[in-house]
Amino acid sequence: MLKTLLITGGAGFIGSHVVRLFVNKYPNYKIINLDALTYAGNLENLKDIDQKSNYVFEKGDITDENYIFDLFKKYDFDGVIHLAAESHVDRSISNPLEFLKTNIFGTVTLLNAAKEIWKDHFDNKRFYHVSTDEVYGSLDNGGFFTETTAYDPKSPYSASKAGSDHFVRAYANTYNLPIVISNCSNNYGPNQFPEKLIPLFINNIQNNKPLPVYGKGENIRDWLYVVDHARAIDDVYHKGKTGETYNIGGFNEWKNIDLIKVICKTMDEKLGREAGTSEKLITYVTDRAGHDLRYAIDATKITKDLGWKPSLQFEEGISKTIDWYLENEEWLKNVTSGAYQEYYDEMYDKRD
Ligand code: NAD
Ligand code: TYD
């Protein structure tokens, strides 16, 4: 049976991997990718699949209520996988309202359309919100986030994602909207915008630019290869229980400075530079305001209930990722020109 599925934010980093996986794996689905193409959205990410007959791109804004209602009427979606968001913590510190608007107002706009258009036939519908582990706040050196950890968001980004999670659950409780949520740890891999730690540092090493390490580099993140996240999203969408939350993580914690040293060493080897060359670029800069110390996911539930686990070891994932950025200089050049470059210079000047 033909299923019509809306994926929001499909031109972004994670969304593009999700769209690719669904378009290739489910030829009998019609995949509608809705994206506003902000600085973070790039259709080049999908050039290998955009001619497929089961793929449609719609340029539009999730905060535009009339447009979203019309889109739901036009396609009669069976399900929604909602990824569109403002996603970078540093940007949320400079511009919290943008995060409130896209992440909360935009999510509620989609929820409203789903509630209204689906209202007499919720059976077999599904609204899936893709969220972050940052909603749980910050851990010290012990313990893990589980699905029952109390929300304690600490940055404007995580507060906006926590707010959107709450709205999704409120629509399930109040209107019986069939929802599912997942909260994932830090992703890395091809097509990530070079403002996030890993692609930013790969790009800077390649261009012999300083590597701005916030604070002492002691913060810890749990890294997951983006394709493994896309596989988890496939599992949650198809096998997850309505109303449930699933935590997704890499079982792969790294202190920033240790991770950065691995990137430096691997880049030296791949670029044929003398050992230690890239590490010399490390520059300790003023810490991020309110910088969460540690994120770590306990992903037992999704492993036990849905049979998902990461497929790629970190060493292999980081090596593949670096290779991709080295082979896709043009992509990096395109996304780092223009508007982003101005933003980057502004942020970077502040860090010096
Ligand atoms: P991204 O910033 O790379 O992509 C976001 C996409 O959303 C872009 O294509 C952008 O154009 C689009 N978008 C933004 N505002 C929009 C609007 N108003 N209307 C329509 N489209 C809009 O983000 P990402 O890293 O791929 O993250 C995707 C989702 O996954 C987000 O919801 C994020 O909170 C969540 N998440 C990300 C991570 C991570 O490590 N990156 C981890 C866990 C969860
Ligand atoms: P980031 O990729 O922004 O993801 P998040 O803040 O959502 O975890 O940052 C990952 C870690 O790297 C985080 O502890 C902040 C740190 N960081 C730096 O030290 N320097 C940088 O230039 C950036 C972008 C991040």
Tens-binned pLDDT, residue by residue, of the chain (352 aa):
789 999 999 999 999 999 999 999 999 999 999 999 999 999 999 999 999 999 999 999 999 999 999 999 999 999 999 999 999 999 999 999 999 999 999 999 999 999 999 998 999 999 999 999 999 999 998 999 999 999 999 999 999 999 999 999 999 999 999 999 999 999 999 999 999 999 999 999 999 999 999 999 999 999 999 999 999 999 999 999 999 999 999 999 999 999 999 999 999 999 999 999 999 999 999 999 999 999 999 999 999 999 999 999 999 999 999 999 999 998 998 888 865 556 666 665 555 4
**Cα separation, 250 vs 246, whole angstroms:** 13
Taking the CA atoms of 302, 307, 308 and 311 in sequence, report the sign of the dihedral they define.
positive
Q: Is 250 in the pocket of ligand 1 (CB under 6 A)?
A: no
Q: Report pLDDT for 120.
A: 81
In terms of Cβ atoms closer than 10 Å to its own Cβ (0-12, 13-18, 19+), residue 280 is exposed
**Cα separation, 32 vs 26, whole angstroms:** 13
Q: Which ligand has its closest atom nearest to the C-alpha of 254?
A: 2
Is position 157 annotated as part of the catalytic site?
yes
Question: How remote is the CA of residue 197 from the centroid of ligand 2, in Å?
Answer: 5
How far, in whole angstroms, is CA 17 from its chain's centroid?
A: 10
The CA-based diameter of the chain, rounded to the nearest angstrom, is 66
Relative to beta strand 245-248, strand 55-59 is unpaired
CA-CA distances (angstroms) from residue 263 to 193, 228, 313, 317? 17, 20, 15, 11
* 45 secondary structure, DSSP code: G
Q: Which ligand has its closest atom nearest to the C-alpha of 282?
A: 2
Question: How remote is the CA of residue 87 from the centroid of ligand 1, in Å?
Answer: 5
341: how many CB neighbours lie within 10 A of its CB? 11
**Domain ranges (residues) in the chain:** 3-191+225-251+290-313
Any idea how long the chain is? 352
Q: Is 156 in the pocket of ligand 1 (CB under 6 A)?
A: no
Q: Which ligand has its closest atom nearest to the C-alpha of 189?
A: 1
Question: How remote is the CA of residue 276 from the centroid of ligand 1, in Å?
Answer: 35
**Cα separation, 49 vs 46, whole angstroms:** 6
| CATH architecture assigned to 3-191+225-251+290-313 | 3-Layer(aba) Sandwich (3.40)
Q: Report pLDDT for 63.
A: 98
Which residue, among 277, 282, 241, has the nearest Cα to 259 in the 3D structure? 282
Question: How remote is the CA of residue 83 from the centroid of ligand 1, in Å?
Answer: 5
**Cα separation, 334 vs 331, whole angstroms:** 5
**Cα separation, 35 vs 59, whole angstroms:** 5
Q: Which residues pair with 223 in a beta bridge?
A: 186
Question: Does residue 9 contact residue 85 with C-beta atoms inside 8 Å?
Answer: yes
For residue 24, the SS3 value is helix
Question: Does residue 194 contact residue 322 with C-beta atoms inside 8 Å?
Answer: no
Identify residue 170 by its one-letter amino acid code: A
Relative to beta strand 186-188, strand 55-59 is unpaired
Is position 123 annotated as part of the catalytic site?
no
What phi-psi label fits residue 322: left (phi over 0), alpha (psi between -120 and 50 degrees) or beta? alpha
Q: Report pLDDT for 141.
A: 84
Q: Report pLDDT for 337.
A: 81
Which residue, among 47, 49, 84, 80, has the nearest Cα to 64 in the 3D structure? 84
Residue 109: phi and psi, rounded to 5, are: -60, -45
**Cα separation, 297 vs 133, whole angstroms:** 7
Q: Is 109 in the pocket of ligand 1 (CB under 6 A)?
A: no
Catalytic residue among 134, 222, 228, 253: 134
Q: Report pLDDT for 54.
A: 97
For residue 81, the SS3 value is strand
Please, which contacts does 338-341 make with residues 24 or more away whose CB atoms are closer than 8 Å? 339/39, 340/39, 340/193, 340/195
Q: Report pLDDT for 224.
A: 98
**Cα separation, 151 vs 44, whole angstroms:** 36
For residue 183, the SS3 value is strand
323: how many CB neighbours lie within 10 A of its CB? 13
Q: pTM of the prediction?
A: 0.97
Q: Report pLDDT for 206.
A: 95
Q: Report pLDDT for 352.
A: 45
Half-sphere exposure of residue 117: CA atoms within 13 angstroms, side-chain side: 24
